[in-house]
Amino acid sequence: MVDYIGIERVRELVARVGTGRFIEGLATEIESDYRRWREFEKSPRHASHSSVGVIELMPTSDGRQYSFKYVNGHPKNTAAGLLTVTAFGVLADVDTGYPLLLSELTFSTALRTAATSALAARWMARPSSRVMALIGNGAQSEFQAIAFHPHAGHS
Amino acid sequence: MAHRANFRRLPFTHMLGIRELRLHDTDPRATAKLERNLAALQLGDFASCAARVLPRLRVALTS
């Protein structure tokens, strides 16, 4: 049986842990993956463009597990009250080829994007930085603000 | 608590000390919505900073 993590479960988990703390935890995981960069099989994302958007597949493997994300980008969706980006992903065991997990990745992508930004800033921003500009105040910007809040991870 | 133990301690040598947000969007309604959402999160000074700084940024970016 393949495990499934739906949007409700992710929301529940994030609510329990706290958004700031959750993003900080993600940043830690992302950093540890960057530290073993060479272990990952990397390929360009497979992008299928249309006149109104793009659908992309993003596969990778570290030799033990295989994963891909399906994600779209449709800027016009907002006007129709739909999400610009939706995503899901699969995690599989390389040894048996069995899928282990099917997960929503719409909400998770927003959290991961914020976590990656915070991680990059911690390594690259001047330590004395006190002001952050958010150019573009759409759905992602709230996550970005939370990730950079001084009490993120401590609430 | 168990679920909190899942995350390891951060190895960062320094934490960012962002104290102020400057918000801009070509659609002012998006900025207003972000401000409302941040205020609802009760992030303390952070959100009020955003509100206070906002008009200045708008001027800076459009002039």
- C-alpha torsion sign, points A32, A16, A112, B33: negative
What ipTM did this prediction achieve? 0.79
Chain B contact residues (CB < 8 Å to A):
3-4, 6-12, 14-25, 27, 30-31, 33-34, 37-38, 41, 43-44, 46, 50, 57
Homologous superfamily of A3-147 in CATH?
ornithine cyclodeaminase, domain 1 (3.30.1780.10)
The torsion angles phi and psi of A3, rounded to 5 degrees, stand at: -70, 150
Instruction: With beta carbons less than 8 A apart as the criterion, state whether A17 and A148 touch.
Output: no
Residue B63 falls within a domain, yes or no? yes
Q: Give pLDDT tens digits for A81-108.
A: 999 999 999 999 999 999 999 999 999 9
Number of cross-chain residue pairs from A and B with Cβ atoms under 8 Å apart: 99
| Domain assignment of residue B60, yes or no | yes
Q: How many domains are contained in chain B?
A: 1
Give me the residue spans of the domains in chain A: 3-147
pTM of the model: 0.82
Residue B17: inside a domain = no
Alpha helices, H only, chain A: 7-17, 19-34, 106-124, 139-147
For the stretch A94-120, what's the b/e string if a residue is b when 16 or more beta carbons lie within 10 angstroms of its beta carbon?
Answer: eeeeeeeebbbbebbbbbbbbbbbbbe
Q: Inspect the interface and report whether the beta carbons of A25 and B25 lie closer than 8 Å.
A: no
Which tokens go with A55? 């659908």
Chain A residues closer than 8 Å to B33 by CB: 137
Domain that holds residue B53: 29-63
Residue A126 has pLDDT above 60, yes or no: yes
